[in-house]
Structure 1
Amino acid sequence: MRCCWGELMHLPNDVNEMGVVLSRVNNSCNTAPREPVNTSQTVSSICDREVNSTNSDHSSIIPIKNKVCEPEEVLVPALPELACVERGYITPLQVYNLLNAEDGQPALYDPYYMLILDCRSAERYKDSHVVTARAAVTVIHPELGCLISCIELQKYSIILLYAEEGCSPVGSVKARADSPDLQRCFFQLSDLGMDPIILLGGFSAFSALYPFLCTSRMVLLEPERYTLTIYPSEILEGALYQGSASQASDYRIIKNLHITHVVNATANSPDAFPNILSYLRLRLSDDAQQDLVKALPLASSFINTALKGEPAGRVLVHCSMGKSRSSALTLAFLMEHRHWSLLHALRWLKERRACTAPNINFLQQLLTYEELLFGSRLTSLDEIRR
């Protein structure tokens, strides 16, 4: 076993001086993740855990002693395995995270954030399309060319195209045969100096994973955009999510993402659905005095146990805004159970949640945690503050 950061024992529902409570309930959300999480080489960093058997649906696991042991075994660093995607394409998960990106306010509220062009037939568009998408024919006419001025097009940060299906290399004979309208649109935009991207697998792949982000409504103007639900970021596909307290209290979000477990890292926000979800409550403050010595391994163990359960659960980690406290806990899990250095874990997280921003105190404690897990410091503070 690696180092033990805390002794645990079963006590009645209560909170210790660190404000750590874990409640367990029977859960009926049995949807398995789309991509299994590899946990075969991991070992929990929490030792000496005792949980009394009980017929009750609720129990609490509370660390009562701060015990630090010398590690007998250290982790071997691993590199994240990145999906191989053809140039010019973007995966459904990446599109999901782009649609739900936020920093201060949701990016999707900005009409010029992302131009999404549905290159299918008008009938299919009317039936259902990705939220905020436009029918491509209203923007890029197959015969007449661009109906939006180049100046207007240049205002968009992202231009996304999709057909019904498709994953062949852009410009290939198969791609031109499968989705001629999309290919024509892609090269028209490219000739105008734009840099469009194509949804891998098309609408069918995206709607199968995220039907709640598809609609028959046309949502374009700012007032309409402000009515949209913004979802937590997806960190591990179909398994681990990170977001805000308001998202954690929205039952529609919980239901649509099939969340079964929640790590609540806020100081004051209550657990929203204690009767149907399993919670780990960590009453943390986002400041220079907050000690994470117990929180990091406890959250890491809780997440890992949920993801490798039978059936596998889905975990939402949240704090108030989903930036600092929740990021520190997610990073600890990625280091311990994916065997990634803090640098690689932070890069992975920021690619999926751009507003990730653990405070300097948390970063320093994560560096210490990295050294404990791997036996040496793999990341420098300068590297992760750039």
Structure 2
Amino acid sequence: MMKRGFTGGYGSQTEVLWLTDLVLCEPMELYNILNQVTKLSRLTEPNYLCLLDVRSKQEYDESHVITARRVKKIADEYLIPESMDLECVKYCVVYDSNTSCLNLILKDDSHKSGSSRNDLFAGGAAIECGKAIAHLTRYPVKILRGGYESFSAKYHFFRTQKIIWMPQELDEFQAYPVEIVPGRIYLGDFRQACDPKIQKDLKIKAHVNVSMETGPFFAGDADKLLHIQIEDSLEAIISPFLRHLCHFIDIHLDLGSVILIFSTLGISRSCAAILAYLMHRNEQTLKKSWEYVKKCKNNVRPNQALVAELSEWEAIVLGGLVTDTTVAFS
């Protein structure tokens, strides 16, 4: 299915076809898809992600995104790996080198010398492949914006030459913190906060630790570490710390620092902290903040006591209660 629009100039007309069976996938979105966790990485689920690389064999062999499968093209037909059941896959993401939009440009030159020529300019191999397989998928095919070049520049640590991933290797895959504010705020767990490689790869310069545990980084440095020591229980009270939390993060964003917010499991306390900050930063409701964070991280579960405190924080930020927590999060 396509939608049409027109742009014009003197003596010529260009028709733009927007492909509605395809959607753009931002590099941050693919990064977060790769880093979702239940008890294990969600990459272990056979119907979770199908990541397809439509670049040349040489480019693919040099490096590709982890778990990506190369799609071969014979004549004008793309050959999807037989092991892929696209109808059951939640995320089907296709990338080439650098496709950045979903427009197909149809330029009409029929006004010139009696010509009836129409030229169709596709946005790249990823769009061609996406169109070819869209009828096989339950959900819209995602085209990675900027392709491999953009993704690998931002997340170089997810480049690999590995072609086949065994189930045990996927079971042992160590996810990174999810990205909440592009390149600036990450949300994770205590293990990730203790991993020096993750700190280096993500260029982490400050921690917000919302747990009782003490991490190995920035100890004793109040300028780079905000440690909110609360238990993971219904008796935990986070409200007295929220203004300081928001001030601490604002300062580091102004300084250009990258911040990791974490708790023991990265599910409840740290999620409450980032929700409070997003309400403050964007002056938006708890419900809208929750919906945004859920898109970044699938297992957001602040406990009921923290949700009640976030509701009170919403009233402070917005001047009144807006979100009905009995409905929004039931």
Task: Please give the range of the TM-score, normalised by the shorter of the 2 chains.
Answer: 0.7 to 0.9
1:204 aligned to 2:137? no
Q: Which amino acid aligns with 1:380?
A: D
Alignment counterpart, residue 317 of structure 1, candidates 255, 258, 261: 261
Conservation of the 8 A alpha-carbon contact between 1:261 and 1:313: yes
CA pair 234-275 structure 1, distance change in 2 beyond 3 A: same
- Residue 161 of structure 1 corresponds to 94
Helix, strand or coil at the partner of 1:154? helix
Q: Which amino acid aligns with 1:166?
A: T
Q: Which amino acid aligns with 1:117?
A: L
Alignment counterpart, residue 299 of structure 1, candidates 238, 245, 262: 245
Alignment counterpart, residue 123 of structure 1, candidates 47, 58, 79: 58
CA pair 313-147 structure 1, distance change in 2 beyond 3 A: closer
Matches within 5 A, 1:141-160: 141=74, 143=76, 146-148=79-81, 152-160=85-93
Helix, strand or coil at the partner of 1:294? helix
What is the Cα deviation at residue 107 of structure 1? 0.8
Conservation of the 8 A alpha-carbon contact between 2:35 and 2:176: yes
CA pair 342-147 structure 1, distance change in 2 beyond 3 A: closer
1:239 aligned to 2:184? yes
Q: Tell me how far apart the structure 2 counterparts of residues 248 and 134 of structure 1 sit (CA, whole Å).
A: 31
What is the Cα deviation at residue 384 of structure 1? 2.8
- Residue 109 of structure 1 corresponds to 44
CA pair 382-111 structure 1, distance change in 2 beyond 3 A: same
Conservation of the 8 A alpha-carbon contact between 1:133 and 1:219: no
Identity %: 26
What is the Cα deviation at residue 117 of structure 1? 0.9
Conservation of the 8 A alpha-carbon contact between 1:113 and 1:157: yes
CA pair 347-152 structure 1, distance change in 2 beyond 3 A: closer
Query: Cα deviations across residues 288-346 of structure 1 (Å, max 9, x unaligned)?
Result: 1111232222222211111112xx11111100111110011111111122211111111
What is the Cα deviation at residue 232 of structure 1? 0.4
Conservation of the 8 A alpha-carbon contact between 1:100 and 1:233: yes
Alignment counterpart, residue 30 of structure 2, candidates 83, 91, 95: 95
Higher mean displacement: 299-308 or 198-207: 299-308
Q: Which amino acid aligns with 1:374?
A: L
Conservation of the 8 A alpha-carbon contact between 2:218 and 2:225: yes
Q: Tell me how far apart the structure 1 counterparts of residues 248 and 265 of structure 2 sit (CA, whole Å).
A: 21
Conservation of the 8 A alpha-carbon contact between 1:280 and 1:299: yes
Query: Cα deviations across residues 351-371 of structure 1 (Å, max 9, x unaligned)?
Result: 111211111100101111111
Conservation of the 8 A alpha-carbon contact between 2:96 and 2:148: yes
Q: Which amino acid aligns with 2:97?
A: E
What is the Cα deviation at residue 219 of structure 1? 4.2
Matches within 5 A, 1:166-245: 166-169=99-102, 171-172=104-105, 177-179=122-124, 181-194=125-138, 195-245=140-190
- Residue 307 of structure 2 corresponds to 363
Q: Tell me how far apart the structure 1 counterparts of residues 84 and 176 of structure 2 sit (CA, whole Å).
A: 31
CA pair 142-199 structure 1, distance change in 2 beyond 3 A: farther
Name which structure has the greater RCO, CA cutoff 8 Å, separation 6+: 1
Q: Tell me how far apart the structure 2 counterparts of residues 221 and 288 of structure 1 sit (CA, whole Å).
A: 41
What is the Cα deviation at residue 104 of structure 1? 2.7
Conservation of the 8 A alpha-carbon contact between 2:99 and 2:126: no
What is the Cα deviation at residue 148 of structure 1? 4.4
- Residue 284 of structure 1 corresponds to 230
Query: Cα deviations across residues 6-50 of structure 1 (Å, max 9, x unaligned)?
Result: xxxxxxxxxxxxxxxxxxxxxxxxxxxxxxxxxxxxxxxxxxxxx
CA pair 213-142 structure 1, distance change in 2 beyond 3 A: farther
Alignment counterpart, residue 332 of structure 1, candidates 276, 299, 315: 276
Conservation of the 8 A alpha-carbon contact between 1:176 and 1:183: no
Q: Tell me how far apart the structure 1 counterparts of residues 104 and 263 of structure 2 sit (CA, whole Å).
A: 44
CA pair 369-103 structure 1, distance change in 2 beyond 3 A: same
Whichever structure has more strand as a proportion of its residues is 2
Structure 1 portions without partners, runs of 5+: 1-84
Helix, strand or coil at the partner of 1:168? coil
How many residue pairs are counted as aligned between the two chains?
Answer: 296
Alignment counterpart, residue 342 of structure 1, candidates 286, 296, 316: 286
- Residue 59 of structure 1 corresponds to none
CA pair 115-298 structure 1, distance change in 2 beyond 3 A: same
Structure 2 portions without partners, runs of 5+: 1-18, 107-118
1:259 aligned to 2:204? yes
Q: Which amino acid aligns with 1:293?
A: S
What is the Cα deviation at residue 162 of structure 1? 0.4
What is the Cα deviation at residue 96 of structure 1? 0.6
1:135 aligned to 2:80? no
Conservation of the 8 A alpha-carbon contact between 2:284 and 2:318: no
Conservation of the 8 A alpha-carbon contact between 1:297 and 1:332: no
